[in-house]
Amino acid sequence: MLAAHIFAEINKYLGKNLPLAALFHTATISGIADMIRGKQWKPLWSSIVPLKVTGNKTPVFLIHGAEGNILLYKNLIKYLEVDRPVYGLQSQGLDGKSPLLNDVKEMAQKYIMDIKGIQPDGPYLLGGYCLGGVIAYEIAQQLTGSGDVVDMVAMIETYNIKNTPPSFGLRTFHRIQNLFFQLMNLRLSLKDSRLQYFNEKFNVELNRIRVKLKILNSRLSSIFSQKHSKDYQHLLINEINDRAQNSYTPKAYTGKVILFKPIRYFTCYNDYCYGWENLIEDMNIIEMPCYPRGSLNKPFVKYLAEKFNEALDSNYNNKNADFSKITMPVSDNLY
């Protein structure tokens, strides 16, 4: 969220609209400045983003969460296998120009075209956190429906929301519960005598408050004057993505699915299978050593990556294919 605020400032003062995925390739002020100065540089607003292109194993495709960007996988990628290419899929419309997709099935159709541009044939490996898991599930449905092979769908803390649509009161209560869960995650992380989790979560929540206040100020400014308003498309897109998830009705799936779930539940979502039991024929549930919304944070993300790697390597097809020569088309190179 802090990155979204910084990039909104850059767009306002320099007229350069950057994708948050740029931070996967440079996370310094000087690096971003060099990027902006480059005469031939053009920001990549394609949905597909190369995160790690080295390695000869079958690539894995990670789908964005509700806020549309893929920065949430930054920690996970560090611990995935070094010879495993990883690609992210960010929301269409983050540039404020492309049309927004407001339906999970439409998103899946669009992302399949992007995935096929990288890997024309299966087997495919898909994953996603929360909404990303739902979209990965639908992508797998459409791929297998057209005769393609999907070896694995990894869903990280992904609920089948259709079973229990969240009301305004329930969402409010979940925010309160989330504070408790983060305190419990902090307690667990301190067992390792580390403050990594606390530092990450403290900074995230502090900046979340700051950015939300700035968004409110920007909205008020836009009513009275365009002079002081800024574009927060990176963050506001989550409203559309939330509605898309709430309206999505998943169908039964016969392929392999791995559900990574925390040790506790949000109220009214206490189904051990997160609402997928009657839909998924081959489901393996892996319990994370953390409370909700901690799976992608240190130190818990290391355990997630370990189990993720084991699941990826269990697919024998990965060892028979050589994807070392997969590259982005020249016109789509990120930077």
For residue 256, give the CATH number of its domain: 3.40.50.1820
89, with CB counted inside 10 A (0-12, 13-18, 19+), is buried
> Which segment, 68-72, 199-203, 281-285, is predicted with the most confidence on average?
281-285
Mean pLDDT of all residues in 137-148: 97
Domain ranges, residue 51: 2-332
| pLDDT tens-place string over residues 226-238 | 544 445 565 568 7
Average pLDDT over residues 184-205: 69
pLDDT band of residue 138 (cuts 50, 70, 90) is: very high
Q: Is the pLDDT of residue 126 over 90?
A: yes
Task: Say if residues 63 and 111 touch (Cβ distance below 8 Å).
Answer: yes
Q: What is the arithmetic mean of pLDDT over 232-249?
A: 80
Please say if the pLDDT value at position 80 is more than 60: yes
Query: Is the pLDDT confidence value at 125 over 80?
Result: yes
**Average pLDDT of the segment spanning 181-194:** 76
What is the reported pLDDT for 327?
33
- Report, as an integer, the average pLDDT of 155-162: 92
Average pLDDT estimate for 178-201: 74
Please state the φ and ψ torsions of residue 27, each to the nearest 5 degrees. Answer: -120, 25
Q: What span, in angstroms and rounded, lies between the C-alpha atoms of 253 and 164? A: 20
Instruction: Say what the pLDDT of residue 228 is.
Output: 42
Strand partners, 150: 124
* Mean pLDDT, rounded, of the chain: 81
With cut-offs at 50, 70 and 90, classify the pLDDT of residue 169. confident
pLDDT of residue 224 exceeding 60, the answer is no
The two three-digit tokens of residue 71, written as one number = 């920065």
Specify the number of domains making up the chain.
1
Selection from 105-109, 262-266, 327-331 with the highest mean pLDDT: 105-109
